[in-house]
C-alpha cells in the first residue's frame, strides 16, 4: 500500500467585494489573482507568475477601502470583507501617470500590444512633460554573441535581477545599481558580460517585458529590417540535450531559428531554460557543405 | 558561493581593514589562503553567509582606511561575506558616502541645504567652486548635515590608520582653505541651548556630563530602568499606553500600541531598533540629544527591550553625526561594563541615504542591502529586521519613555492637549536670531515659538522639513499639536521649523527641495523615481521663465504629486511633493 501524501491544509475561501461585485477566492490569493478570476483586466509590468512580486512598477494599484494610499494588487493578499475598486478616478490617475512617467523616460515601443492598449485605455500622453526631459537613452550594449542589452528600453522592473538570482538561476550576475533616477541594471563595475558571472541561460531575456534584453539574432534582424513576427512559426519541441525534458518553443522565420522560449506555465521549466536549450540551436541550421 | 572576481587583488591595507573587523579568514572559501584540505572539502558557507549583514560596517572600514572603495577591496569583502559582487556593487553605489573613484584621504562635505542657504552656504560653495573646482573631487556638496542651529555647516573626514571625522559649524571659507591646505581642524563648539523656561526632556542638556555614567546617575539616571524592572513588562506598556505618547519620528503612531504588538508577537527573537538616522532637512534634535544626553537614550532602549521582550538592539545613526555616535558608543560600553545594561546594543552607521530613516529601508540597510523600503503590510511589528518582529522607535520617543516610566502615564498626559500629550522638541533654524532646540508643551501656538526664537518679518515657515509643508504668516497661530497642524493640512513631521524672512528667495528654496528628493529617491518605484525627476525639471523650467504657460506646468506638477502621494511605496515618495505643492498654492511663489 502506498503511503499517505500530505497535500497541505485545505484553503478557506475569503469573500471580498471588487467593483461592487462580491467574490470568493482562496485565502492567500492576491487581489490580482482575484481580479483575474473575475476577468477584470489589470495592467502589470513588474509582475510575472514565475517570479516573486516586487511591486515596484505600481501600475497595478487599486483602491482599498480604509487604506490611505493605493495598494499594489500584485502582492497585497485578499482579506475577508475587503472592498476594492479597480477603476476609480484615483486608480485611473495613478495608472495613467505611471505609464506616462515610464514612457517619457524610456523607449517602450517594443512592449507587448497589451501595454499599448493600457496606455490607450488610461489616456497616457508621455509627451506632455515636454521634450527637454531626461531619458535613459544610451547605446545598446553588445559584448557577446548571444544577446544584447538595450537599457534605453529598461523600465527597471527588477525581473531580470530576480530571474538571475534566487527566483531561477542563482547566478547573481546583475543587480540594481545607483540610486533614484540614475538607478539601472548592471554587472559589478559595469564589467562586460563575458567577464561577469553570467552563464548565458537567457532567463533574463525570457522575463523582460520591454525588449531591453534581446537575442542577438533578433536584434540584428530588427536592425536590418527583416524581423517579421507575422512570418514566424512557433514550433514546440523538447530540448535534445539532457534528460530533464524542458519544453522549447522554437521561433522560426525563413526556415531559421531566430529565438527560443519556453512557456511560463510549463511544469518542468516554469519558463526558464539553460544556455544549451536557449542558445544551443546552431547545429540545427549549419548549412555549409560537409567536407 | 562560487564568487567570480576579476578586479585584481585588494591591497594589504584594504585587506587589513576588512580583517580588522571580521577576523582572519579561516579558509579559501572565505577569501583566505588555499590549503590542502580546501581542494576536497567546502565548509563554513552557512556561517559566512550569516554575516552578510556586516557589509556596511565592512565598507565603512575600507572607506575609513583608504578614502574610497576600490574594486579589489569590494571583491575581497564579497569573498569574506559570500556576497555576489554585482549585488555588493549595487549596495556601494546606493549610498552617497561611499566613493567608487580614487580620491584623496581628506574629504570635505559642505552643506548647501535650506537652513545653511539662509546663512550664506551658497556664497561659500561658490567660493570653493572658484578655488577648488566643482563639487565631487576635493570638496563635496552635501544635503542637510543636521547643524542648522549653527549654519553654515561642514563635515570633514580623513581616511587612514587613524580615521578622523568631525562636524564643523559655523563653517567659514577661511576654515575651508586651512583644512584643504592640511591645517588643523577647529574644535567642535559645545552645544549651547537657547534659554527657555523649565525644560523637561532637555533638563539634563548642558548640566550632565555626557561621557560619565556617574554624572548621569547623579541626575536621576537609571531610576526609570530600575522601576521598569520592578513593575515588569505589562505595567510598563500600560503606563506608555496611558500616556498616549505618539511617536516623534514623524509618523505619530501610538507608541503603546506598537509596544503591545511587539510584546505579543509569537515569533522569536524580537529586535529593537532605535532610529537615529535623522536626515530630514532642518532637523537636529536627535543629534543634540545623543551628543548631550546619551545615557538617557540607552536607558530608554533598555526599557523598551525589557517591555517588549527584545533580545537584541540596534541603534542606526547617520554617518554625518560622528560625535553623537562616539558618545552613544561610550554610553553603551559604560552601562554594559557596570552591569546596568543587559541588552546587547549594536551601533550601526548609515552611509548617506535619507531614505534609510524609513523604517523598512533601515532594516534593509542593517541587513547589508540597498536601502530600499519594503511594501507594508506586513508591518515591522510582525515582520521586521531579519524577518522578525521589530520595535522601531525614534530617539526623542525613547527619551519620553524614560520620563513616563518614572512619573506615570497619567501624569505625563496632563501636559499638552487631549490628542497630543507631553512636550515636543522643535528645531528652529533659518532666519531666526536664536536658533536651536525648543521644548514646548503640545498645543503651544507656533507664534509663541517663533517669538522666543527671534523670528521677524516672516515670509514663510517650513514646518516638518522637506517632507512637511509651508505655512504663510497668517497661519502661524496654528497650535503645535498633531491635530492642530492636521486641521490646516500641515504636519509636525520631524519637528523642523525653518523660518524664512522677507529677504529669502523662495524659488531657490523650492528648487533645493525638489533637488533633495530627486537625489534621495531610492529609485525603486516608478512614481517616485521618475516623478521626483520630472518635478525638478518642471520647476526648473518654470523658474527659468521658459515656455510661458505656467498654468499647464502647475497642473502637471499637481498630477505628478497626486500619483506620488497615492502610488509610491513609502513615505518619501508620498510626501515628496508636499512642500512644493504648498509653496505654489499657499505662498504663490510663482504667481500662478
* Neighbour-count burial for B558-575, b at 16+ CB within 10 Å, e otherwise: ebbbbbbbbbbbbbbbbb
Per-residue cell: B482: 498633531
CA–CA gap between residue A33 and residue A26 (Å, rounded): 10
**Minimal Cα distance from B86: which residue of A?**
A188
The angle formed by the CA atoms of residues B518, B520 and B522, to the nearest 5 degrees, is 100
Mean pLDDT of B405-427: 97
* Residue A139 located in a structural domain: no
Q: What is the rounded distance in angstroms from the CA atom of residue B580 to the CA atom of residue B540?
A: 12
Contact list, B568 vs chain A (CB under 8 Å): 58, 69
Q: How many CB atoms lie within 10 A of CB B503?
A: 9
Indicate if A110 and A53 belong to the same structural domain: yes
> Is B76 in contact with B18 (CB distance < 8 Å)?
yes
How many angstroms away from the CA of A90 is the closest CA of chain B?
A: 8
Inter-chain touch A172–B86, beta carbons under 8 Å: yes
Query: Using a CB-CB distance cutoff of 8 angstroms, which residues of chain B are in contact with residue A73?
Result: none
| CA distance linking residue A173 with residue A163, whole number of Å | 10
A156 plus A274 within the same structural domain? yes
Span B308-319, pLDDT tens digits: 999 999 999 999
Residues A96 and A217 in one domain: no
Q: Are residues A75 and A129 in the same domain?
A: yes
Q: How many domains does chain A have?
A: 2
Of A133, A162, A187, the last residue of a domain is: A133
Is A179's CB within 8 Å of B96's CB? yes
Q: Are A179 and B521 an interchain contact pair (Cβ–Cβ within 8 Å)? A: yes
Low-confidence ranges of chain A (pLDDT < 50): none
Nearest residue in A to B84, CA atom: A172
pLDDT at position B34: 77
Whether residue A26 lies inside any domain: the answer is: yes
Which residues lie closer than 8 Å to B500 by C-beta, 6 or more apart?
A: B118, B430, B431, B458, B459, B460, B461, B462, B506, B509
- Give the span between the Cα atoms of A157 and A97, in whole angstroms: 16
> Is the residue at A157 inside a domain?
yes
B567 and A182 within 8 Å at the Cβ level: the answer is no
Decide if A52 is inside a domain. yes
Using a CB-CB cut-off of 8 Å, the residues of chain A touching B377 are 76
Tell me the percentage of chain B whose pLDDT exceeds 90. 87
Please give the C-alpha separations between residue B383 and each of B274, B364, B472, in angstroms, as whole numbers: 17, 12, 41
In this prediction, residues B61-72 reach a mean pLDDT of 96
pLDDT bin (cut points 50, 70, 90) of residue B548 is low
Q: Which residue of A has its CA nearest to B74?
A: A188
Tell me if B566 and A70 make a contact (CB, 8 A cut-off): yes
And the C-alpha cell for A276?
A: 544549451
> Is A85 inside a domain boundary?
yes
Assigned domain for A264 exists: yes
User: Residues near B417 by Cβ (< 8 Å), separated by ≥ 6?
Assistant: B442, B443, B479, B481, B483, B484
Whether the per-residue pLDDT at B547 is higher than 60: the answer is no
Contact A58 B565 (CB under 8 A): no
| Average pLDDT of the segment spanning B491-508 | 95
Q: Do A128 and A31 lie in a common domain? A: yes
Do B518 and A180 count as a contact with CB atoms less than 8 A apart?
yes
Q: How confident is the model at residue B546 (pLDDT cuts 50, 70, 90)?
A: low
Asked if pLDDT for residue B165 goes beyond 90, the answer is yes
Residues of A in contact with B565 (CB under 8 A): 69
CB contact under 8 A, A130 and B7: no
Can you tell me the mean pLDDT for B124-151? 95
DSSP state letter for A49: T
Which of B90, B522, B534 minimises the CB distance to A129?
Answer: B534
Q: How many angstroms away from the CA of B562 is the closest CA of chain A? A: 8
Grid cell of B319 as nine digits: 554617518
The shortest CB-CB distance from B86 to any of A56, A76, A197 is to A197
B569: nearest CA partner in chain A = A56
- Of the candidates B96, B94, B430, B391, the one whose C-alpha atom is nearest the C-alpha of residue B261 is B391
On whether both A123 and A151 belong to a single domain, the answer is no
Cell numbers describing residue A109:
515601443
* pLDDT tens column, B95-109: 999 999 999 999 999
Nearest to B525 among A58, A182, A197 (CB): A58
Nearest-by-Cβ selection for A183 from B520, B529, B562 = B529
Q: What is the CATH number of the domain that holds A74?
A: 3.10.20.740
How far apart are the CA of A234 and the nearest CA of chain B, in angstroms? 34
Distance in Å, alpha carbon of A186 to nearest chain B alpha carbon: 7
Q: Tell me, what's the pLDDT at A1?
A: 55
pLDDT at B197: 74
Neighbours of A176 (CB within 10 A): 26
Q: Is pLDDT at B462 greater than 60 in this prediction?
A: yes
pLDDT at A289: 56
- What distance in Å separates residue A289's CA from the closest CA in chain B? 40
Identify which of B522, B530, B565 has the shortest CB distance to residue A101.
B530
Q: Is the pLDDT of residue B304 over 70?
A: yes
Nearest to A179 among B94, B377, B562 (CB): B94
Q: How far is B269 from chain A (nearest CA, A)?
A: 25
Q: In Å, how far is B517's CA from the nearest CA of chain A?
A: 9
**Between A93, A133, A197, which is nearest B563 by CB?**
A93
Model pLDDT, residue A291: 53
Query: Scanning every residue of chain A, which has its alpha carbon at the shortest distance from the alpha carbon of B526?
Result: A57
Residue A271 confidence (pLDDT): 95
Q: Is A28 exposed, middle or buried (0-12, 13-18, 19+ CB in 10 A)?
A: exposed
pLDDT band at B1 (very low <50, low <70, confident <90, very high): low
Query: B59, B529, B567, B572: best mutation site toward chain A, by most A Cβ within 10 Å?
Result: B567
Question: What is the rounded distance in angstroms from the CA atom of residue B592 to the CA atom of residue B557?
Answer: 12
pLDDT in tens, B375-401: 999 999 999 999 999 999 999 999 999
Residue of B4, B524, B534 lying closest to A133 (CB–CB): B534
CA atoms within 13 A on the CB side of B422: 29
Closest CB to A94: pick one of B84, B93, B567. B567
Inter-chain CB proximity A183 and B523 less than 8 Å: yes
- pLDDT over 70 percentage in chain B: 99
User: Who contacts B302 (Cβ-Cβ below 8 Å, separation ≥6)?
Assistant: B225, B228, B335, B340, B341, B342, B343
Radius of gyration of chain A, Cα coordinates, nearest whole angstrom: 21
Contacts of A97 in chain B (CB under 8 A): 527, 531, 559-560, 562-563, 567
Interface touch A156/B567, C-beta < 8 Å? no
Q: How much is the average pLDDT of B118-137?
A: 95
Could A59 and B556 be called an inter-chain contact, meaning their C-beta atoms sit closer than 8 Å? no
Whole-model pTM over 0.90: yes
What is the spatial distance between Cα B581 and Cα B470, in angstroms, rounded to a whole number?
9
Could you give the CA distance from residue A45 to residue B84 in angstroms, rounded to a whole number? 26
Which domain-ending residue is among A133, A161, A194? A133
| Minimum-distance CB partner of B533 among A75, A134, A176 | A134
- How confident is the model at residue A275, as a pLDDT? 97
Q: Which residue of A104, A177, A182 is in closest CB contact with B90?
A: A177
Say which residues have a Cβ less than 8 Å from residue A224's Cβ, sequence separation at least 6.
Answer: none
Same domain, A280 and A181: yes
B223-243 and B255-264 helices, crossing angle to 10°: 110
Residues A268 and A237 in one domain: yes
Claim to verify: residue A232 and residue A113 sit in the same structural domain: no
Please report which helix (H) or strand (E) contains residue B317, including its range: strand B310-317
* A95 shares a domain with A31: yes
DSSP structure string for B375-397: PSSSPTTTS-GGGS-EEEEEHHH
> What CA–CA distance (Å, rounded) separates B290 from B275?
12
Contact indicator for B422, B412 with CB cutoff of 8 Å: yes
Q: Rounded to 5 degrees, what are φ and ψ at B137?
A: -110, -75
A248: domain CATH number? Answer: 2.20.25.90
The answer, yes or no, to whether residue B40 has pLDDT greater than 90, is no
User: To the nearest whole angstrom, how far is the Cα of A188 from the nearest Cα of chain B?
Assistant: 4
- Asked if residue A233 is part of any domain, the answer here is yes
Nearest residue of B to residue A187 by CA position? B86
Predicted ipTM of the assembly: 0.94
B485-494 average pLDDT score:
95
- CA-based nearest distance A56→chain B, Å: 4
Give how far Cα B196 sits from Cα of A264, B60, B200, B439, Å.
67, 39, 10, 8
Which domain covers residue A219, as residue numbers? 147-285
Q: Which DSSP state fits A143?
A: -
* Range list of H helices, B388-505: 395-407, 409-413, 446-453, 482-487
Report whether pLDDT(B145) > 90. Answer: yes
* Chains A & B: contacts with CB separation below 8 Å: 159
Mutation site for A-interface testing, chosen from B8, B49, B85, B86 by largest number of A Cβ within 10 Å: B86
Q: What is the pLDDT of residues B515-524, one digit of tens each?
A: 999 999 999 9
Residue of chain B minimizing CA distance to A155: B526
Grid cell 544551443 is found at A280
Residue A195 CB coordination number (10 Å): 14
DSSP state, B171?
-
Task: Confirm if B21 and B54 have CB atoms less than 8 A apart.
Answer: yes
Collect all residues of chain A within an 8 Å Cβ-Cβ radius of residue B525: 55-58
Instruction: Please tell me whether residues A52 and A129 are part of one structural domain.
Output: yes
**Domain end position, chosen among A75, A103, A133:** A133
pLDDT at site B311: 97
- Which CA distances in Å does B224 have to A168, B221, B232, B236, B304? 52, 7, 12, 10, 11
Residue found by looking up cell 529601508 in the block: B361
Our CA-based measurement puts residue B313 at a distance from the nearest CA of chain A, in whole angstroms, of 28
Q: Are residues A174 and A112 in the same domain?
A: no
Residue A56 inside a domain? The answer is yes
Q: Do B89 and A179 touch (CB under 8 A)?
A: no
Amino acid at each position: 500500500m502506498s503511503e499517505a501524501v500530505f497535500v497541505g491544509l485545505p484553503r478557506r475561501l475569503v469573500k471580498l467585494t471588487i467593483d461592487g461585485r462580491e467574490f470568493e477566492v482562496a485565502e492567500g490569493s492576491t487581489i490580482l489573482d482575484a481580479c483575474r478570476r473575475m476577468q477584470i483586466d489589470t495592467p502589470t509590468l513588474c509582475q510575472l507568475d514565475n517570479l516573486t512580486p516586487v511591486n515596484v512598477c505600481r501600475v497595478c494599484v487599486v483602491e482599498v477601502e480604509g487604506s490611505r494610499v493605493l495598494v499594489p494588487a500584485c502582492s497585497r493578499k485578499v482579506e475577508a470583507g475587503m472592498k476594492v475598486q479597480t477603476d476609480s478616478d484615483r486608480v485611473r490617475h495613478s495608472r495613467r501617470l505611471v505609464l506616462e512617467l515610464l514612457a517619457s523616460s524610456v523607449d517602450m515601443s517594443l512592449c507587448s500590444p497589451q501595454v499599448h492598449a493600457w496606455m490607450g485605455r488610461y489616456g497616457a500622453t508621455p509627451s506632455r512633460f515636454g521634450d527637454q526631459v531626461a531619458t535613459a537613452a544610451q547605446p545598446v550594449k553588445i559584448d557577446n554573441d548571444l544577446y544584447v542589452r538595450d537599457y534605453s528600453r529598461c523600465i527597471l522592473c527588477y525581473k531580470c535581477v530576480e530571474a538571475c538570482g534566487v527566483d531561477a538561476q542563482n547566478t547573481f550576475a546583475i543587480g540594481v545599481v545607483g540610486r533614484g533616477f540614475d538607478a539601472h541594471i548592471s554587472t559589478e563595475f559595469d564589467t562586460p558580460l563575458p567577464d561577469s558571472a553570467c552563464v548565458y541561460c537567457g532567463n533574463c531575456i525570457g522575463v523582460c517585458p520591454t525588449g531591453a534584453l534581446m537575442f542577438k539574432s533578433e536584434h540584428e534582424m530588427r536592425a536590418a529590417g527583416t524581423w517579421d513576427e507575422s512570418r514566424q512559426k512557433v514550433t514546440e519541441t523538447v530540448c535534445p540535450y539532457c534528460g530533464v525534458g524542458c519544453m522549447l518553443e522554437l521561433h522560426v522565420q525563413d526556415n531559421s531559428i531566430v529565438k527560443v522560449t519556453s512557456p511560463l506555465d510549463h511544469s518542468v521549466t516554469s519558463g526558464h531554460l539553460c544556455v544549451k536549450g536557449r542558445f544551443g540551436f546552431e547545429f540545427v541550421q549549419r548549412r555549409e557543405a560537409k567536407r | 558561493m562560487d564568487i567570480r572576481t576579476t578586479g585584481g587583488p585588494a591591497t594589504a591595507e584594504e585587506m587589513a581593514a576588512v580583517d580588522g573587523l571580521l577576523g582572519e579568514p579561516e579558509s579559501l572559501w572565505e577569501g583566505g589562503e588555499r590549503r590542502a584540505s580546501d581542494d576536497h572539502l567546502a565548509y563554513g558557507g552557512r556561517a559566512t553567509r550569516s554575516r552578510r549583514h556586516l557589509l556596511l560596517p565592512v565598507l565603512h572600514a575600507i572607506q575609513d582606511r583608504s578614502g574610497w572603495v576600490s574594486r579589489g577591496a569590494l571583491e575581497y569583502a564579497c569573498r569574506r561575506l559570500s556576497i555576489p559582487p554585482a549585488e555588493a556593487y549595487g549596495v556601494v553605489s546606493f549610498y552617497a558616502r561611499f566613493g567608487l573613484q580614487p580620491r584623496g584621504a581628506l574629504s570635505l562635505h559642505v552643506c548647501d541645504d535650506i537652513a545653511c542657504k539662509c546663512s550664506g552656504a551658497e556664497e561659500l560653495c561658490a567660493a570653493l567652486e572658484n578655488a577648488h573646482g566643482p563639487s565631487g573631487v576635493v570638496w563635496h556638496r552635501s544635503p542637510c548635515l543636521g547643524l542648522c542651529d549653527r549654519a553654515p555647516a561642514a563635515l570633514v573626514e580623513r581616511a587612514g590608520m587613524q580615521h578622523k571625522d568631525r562636524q564643523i559649524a559655523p563653517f567659514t571659507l577661511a576654515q575651508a582653505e586651512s583644512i584643504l591646505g592640511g591645517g588643523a581642524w577647529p574644535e567642535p563648539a559645545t552645544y549651547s541651548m537657547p534659554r527657555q523656561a523649565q525644560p523637561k526632556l532637555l533638563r539634563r542638556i548642558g548640566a550632565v556630563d555626557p561621557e560619565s555614567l556617574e554624572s548621569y546617575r547623579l541626575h536621576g539616571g537609571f531610576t526609570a530602568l530600575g522601576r521598569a524592572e520592578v513593575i515588569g513588562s505589562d505595567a510598563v506598556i500600560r503606563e506608555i499606553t496611558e500616556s498616549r505618547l505618539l511617536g516623534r519620528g514623524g509618523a505619530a503612531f501610538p507608541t503603546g500600541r506598537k509596544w503591545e504588538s511587539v510584546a505579543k508577537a509569537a515569533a522569536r527573537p524580537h529586535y529593537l531598533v532605535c532610529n537615529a538616522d535623522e536626515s530630514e532637512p532642518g532637523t537636529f534634535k536627535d543629534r543634540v540629544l545623543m551628543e548631550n544626553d546619551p545615557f538617557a537614550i540607552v536607558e530608554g532602549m533598555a526599557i523598551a527591550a525589557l517591555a517588549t521582550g527584545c533580545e537584541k538592539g540596534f541603534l542606526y545613526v547617520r554617518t554625518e553625526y560622528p560625535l553623537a555616535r562616539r558618545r552613544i558608543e561610550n554610553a553603551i560600553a559604560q552601562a554594559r561594563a557596570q552591569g546596568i545594561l543587559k541588552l546587547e546594543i549594536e551601533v550601526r552607521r548609515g552611509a548617506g541615504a535619507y531614505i534609510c530613516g524609513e523604517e523598512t529601508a533601515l532594516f534593509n540597510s542593517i541587513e547589508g542591502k540597498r536601502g530600499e523600503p519594503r511594501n507594508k503590510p506586513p508591518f515591522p511589528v510582525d515582520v521586521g529586521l531579519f524577518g522578525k518582529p521589530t520595535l522601531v522607535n525614534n530617539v526623542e520617543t525613547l527619551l519620553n519613555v524614560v520620563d513616563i516610566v518614572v512619573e506615570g502615564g497619567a501624569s505625563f498626559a496632563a501636559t499638552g492637549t487631549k490628542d497630543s500629550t507631553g512636550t515636543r522638541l522643535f528645531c528652529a533654524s533659518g532666519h531666526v536670531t536664536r536658533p536651536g532646540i525648543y521644548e514646548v508643551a503640545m498645543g503651544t501656538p507656533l507664534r509663541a515659538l517663533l517669538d522666543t526664537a527671534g523670528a521677524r518679518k516672516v515670509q514663510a515657515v517650513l514646518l516638518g522639513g522637506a517632507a512637511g509643508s509651508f505655512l504663510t504668516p497668517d497661519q502661524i497661530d496654528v497650535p503645535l499639536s498633531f491635530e492642530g497642524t492636521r486641521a490646516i493640512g500641515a504636519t509636525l513631521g520631524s519637528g523642523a521649523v525653518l523660518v524664512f524672512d522677507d529677504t529669502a528667495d523662495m524659488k531657490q528654496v523650492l528648487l533645493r527641495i525638489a533637488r533633495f528628493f530627486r537625489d534621495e529617491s531610492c529609485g525603486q518605484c516608478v512614481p517616485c523615481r521618475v516623478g521626483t525627476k520630472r518635478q525638478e525639471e518642471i520647476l526648473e523650467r518654470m523658474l527659468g521663465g521658459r515656455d510661458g504657460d505656467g498654468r499647464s506646468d502647475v497642473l502637471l506638477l499637481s498630477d505628478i504629486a497626486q500619483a506620488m502621494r497615492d502610488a509610491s511605496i513609502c513615505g518619501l515618495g508620498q510626501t515628496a511633493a508636499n512642500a512644493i505643492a504648498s509653496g505654489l498654492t499657499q505662498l504663490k511663489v510663482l504667481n500662478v
